[in-house]
A and B are shown apart, each in its own frame.
Chain A
Amino acid sequence: MTETTTFVPPSRFAVPGRIAVDTQTATTWQTATLTEIRRETPNAATFRFAVPAWAGHLPGQHLMLRLTAGDGYVAQRHYSIASSPDDSGHIELTLDHVDGGEVSGWFHTVARPGDSVEVRGPLSGFFAWPGDRAALLVGAGSGVVPLMSMLRHHRARSLDVPLRLLVSARSPEELIYAREYGAETTTVFTRAAPDGVPVGRMTAAHVEPLMAEAPPGGWEAYICGSNAFAEHASRLLVTAGQPVDRIRIERFG
């Protein structure tokens, strides 16, 4: 007797459809040469790398990066890719300077153009958006990084599927990519805001107008941020009517 039935989830929760990942490129370490460092906020900077053999990625995917010490010690971390797929042989990462962070600490205090690190990827096809469906993007802090790859992709390809971005930051000074947002973006400031702009966490009042303008077929929702933010934002979306099986979450911290 051979069991061949495909598993059907026993509950109302369902797994979103997958996006194929090239597993060969995901397992090969490549040298990435730092070509440029751009400050984004007092605590975050964008690091641009030349990776000549980069196979391309989908907006939202991440990579694994490793640094090697002289004694052979290796530190590896996952980072979301900030740049859109543009076939230039370059990718960009935007990293927060984490207190006591051994990898982010190296990037923010030691790294300079010409240095090289190793990367493998792109990885995981779950939190990825190829640009085929209307996208509602919700991020906080550096959680906006993979969402920016999606937004840049949308612009670079002049896609006509609707895209909206809801981004939360502590203050305007800490809003990553502040200069790049357009009419598709709603900002929320939790600690300090410009005069006349309310201060406070994301609420139903931010989410409901975006749900109200959902296109036929609805939104594919992508949430990225700290776990506390992801829990909060995903509950807001579900309460506002977004189906749980059309919410993809990337959490950190």
Chain B
Amino acid sequence: MNVTRGFTGRPRVHNAGLPPGQYDAGDDWPVLSAEVTPDLTPADWNLRIDGLVAEPRTWDWEQAHALPASAYEGDIHCVTSWSKFGVRFGGVSLDTFLDAVRPDPSATHAVAYAHTGYSANLPLADLTGGRAWIVWDYDGLPLPAEHGGPARLIVPHLYFWKSTKWIAGIRVLDHDEPGFWERNGYHARGNPWEEQRYSGD
């Protein structure tokens, strides 16, 4: 252990919800995106799920909102080392969308892509079983554009760059295909509890 002379850190209580190397951002919600925030309205937005599925499909805003509502209430963790506790997102479980398109039994991975062109790869197992959502509400209000509104993917058990903003589609694959940040040095999976921040971690 390389102790830094004179460094004590800020006063802290043990927080079992904080993954290694993370700090509690409190009320802040930093914006981390490398692109120009798009002017994307609900009328422009749609979600396509295709690839290795029985019935590729596209939902528009109205069609997606007609699906059974589902909410996530819990924590989120950004690779840049902040975590945010007790956030509340409202939308639809990704299981609902995937059940409609019926992924092929050979499917193992997916690429989530944004209306801006940004993409992230994910094992299919991280997107199913009630662990991922398409959301449009944050704390009961419409999701702000800079945080991915009108709608984004959330996969809260992984670092938040996997929770693609301005979600446009999910392509189901039978192999792993690195997304934008993964090609730029970030980890293929991004589990905060394993500190999978960068490629090679």
Give me the interface of A with B, judged by CB distance under 8 Å: 1-3, 7, 9-11, 13-15, 18-19, 21, 23-24, 26-27, 31, 64, 66-70, 72-78, 100, 102, 106, 110-111, 115-118, 120, 123-127, 227, 230-231, 234-235, 238, 244-245, 247-253
Q: Which residue of A lies closest to B37 (CB)?
A: A231
Tell me whether B41 is interfacial, beta carbon within 8 Å: no
Q: Which residue of B lies closest to A244 (CB)?
A: B36
- Name B's interface SS: loop
CB-CB under 8 A for A227 and B146, given A1-B104, A69-B4, A118-B2: yes
Measured CA separation A238–B116 after assembly (Å): 14
The 3 closest A-B pairs by CB, nearest first: A9-B117, A21-B185, A23-B199
Find out whether the CB atom of A10 lies under 8 angstroms from the CB atom of B168.
Answer: yes
Interface residues of B in 9-32 (CB under 8 A from A): 9-10, 12, 20-21, 23, 30-32
CB-CB under 8 A for A116 and B2, given A7-B111, A9-B116, A251-B31: yes
Tell me whether B94 is interfacial, beta carbon within 8 Å: no
Contacts of A68 in B (CB 8 A): 1-4, 7
Query: A57 CB to closest chain B CB, in angstroms?
Result: 12
CB-CB under 8 A for A123 and B185, given A23-B198, A26-B198, A251-B31: yes
Interface residues of B in 69-124 (CB under 8 A from A): 80-81, 104, 111, 113-119
Measured CA separation A249–B172 after assembly (Å): 29
Measured CA separation A7–B200 after assembly (Å): 25
Tell me whether B35 is interfacial, beta carbon within 8 Å: yes
Q: Which residue of B lies closest to A122 (CB)?
A: B185
Contacts of B168 in A (CB 8 A): 10-11
Contacts of B33 in A (CB 8 A): 249, 251
Contacts of A245 in B (CB 8 A): 117
Find out whether the CB atom of B23 lies under 8 angstroms from the CB atom of A75.
Answer: yes
Measured CA separation A238–B36 after assembly (Å): 9
- Name A's interface SS: mixed
CB-CB under 8 A for A78 and B80, given A14-B117, A21-B185, A249-B34: yes
Find out whether the CB atom of B200 lies under 8 angstroms from the CB atom of A67.
Answer: no
Question: B117's contact among A13, A110, A238, by CB below 8 Å, is which?
Answer: A13
Q: Which residue of B lies closest to A19 (CB)?
A: B184
CB-CB under 8 A for A76 and B21, given A68-B2, A227-B31: yes
Give me the interface of B with A, judged by CB distance under 8 Å: 1-10, 12, 20-21, 23, 30-38, 48, 51-52, 80-81, 104, 111, 113-119, 146, 168-169, 171-175, 180-181, 183-186, 197-201
Show 9 A/B contacts (Cβ-Cβ < 8 Å), sorted by A: A23-B185, A64-B81, A68-B3, A68-B7, A69-B7, A70-B8, A73-B12, A238-B36, A250-B34
Q: Which residue of A lies closest to B10 (CB)?
A: A102
Find out whether the CB atom of A115 lies under 8 angstroms from the CB atom of B115.
Answer: no
Query: A124 CB to closest chain B CB, in angstroms?
Result: 5
Question: B9's contact among A69, A77, A248, by CB below 8 Å, is which?
Answer: A69
CB-CB under 8 A for A74 and B116, given A3-B52, A68-B3, A127-B34: no
CB-CB under 8 A for A123 and B5, given A76-B21, A102-B10, A227-B146: no
Measured CA separation A73–B146 after assembly (Å): 32
Excluding A3-B171, A23-B199, A244-B35, 4 further A-B contacts by CB distance (< 8 Å) are: A3-B174, A7-B171, A110-B6, A248-B34
Query: B111 CB to closest chain A CB, in angstroms?
Result: 6
Q: Which residue of B lies closest to A243 (CB)?
A: B36
Most chain A CB within a 10 A radius of its CB, from B35, B36, B184? B36
Find out whether the CB atom of B146 lies under 8 angstroms from the CB atom of A231.
Answer: yes
Find out whether the CB atom of B34 lies under 8 angstroms from the CB atom of A126.
Answer: yes
Q: Which residue of A lies closest to B29 (CB)?
A: A227
Measured CA separation A109–B191 after assembly (Å): 35
Find out whether the CB atom of A106 lies under 8 angstroms from the CB atom of B7.
Answer: yes
Query: A139 CB to closest chain B CB, in angstroms?
Result: 15
Query: A35 CB to closest chain B CB, in angstroms?
Result: 15
Most chain A CB within a 10 A radius of its CB, from B4, B104, B180? B4
Query: B88 CB to closest chain A CB, in angstroms?
Result: 21
